[in-house]
Structure 1
Amino acid sequence: MTSDRDMLWHRCAHLGRVLLPLVDQEPWRRDRRHENLQTWGIDTVEGERLIEVFAALAAHAVAADASVSAAEFDALRVSAVADAATGKRDIELLAGLPDTFADSRDVQAVGVFRLYAYTGGQSSRRLFQLSREVRHALAVLGEQTPMPSVTCGDIFRRAAEAGLPQ
Structure 2
Amino acid sequence: MKYLFLLLILALLCCSNTQNKFDVPSRFYFKISDGANDSYNSQTALFKRRYSNGAKSYEISLNDAERRMIYNLYQEIHFQNFPKEFEIEWNDTDPVTVVIPSFDTSIEICENDSCNKVILNLIDLENPINDKEKALQYKRLYDKIWQIIINKEEYTDIPDSDCIYL
Report TM bin, short chain.
Answer: 0.3 to 0.5
Structure having the higher Rg: 2
More helix by share: 1
More strand by share: 2
Which of structures 1 and 2 has the larger relative contact order (alpha carbons within 8 angstroms, sep 6+)?
Answer: 1
Normalised by the size of structure 2, how large is the TM-score?
A: 0.34
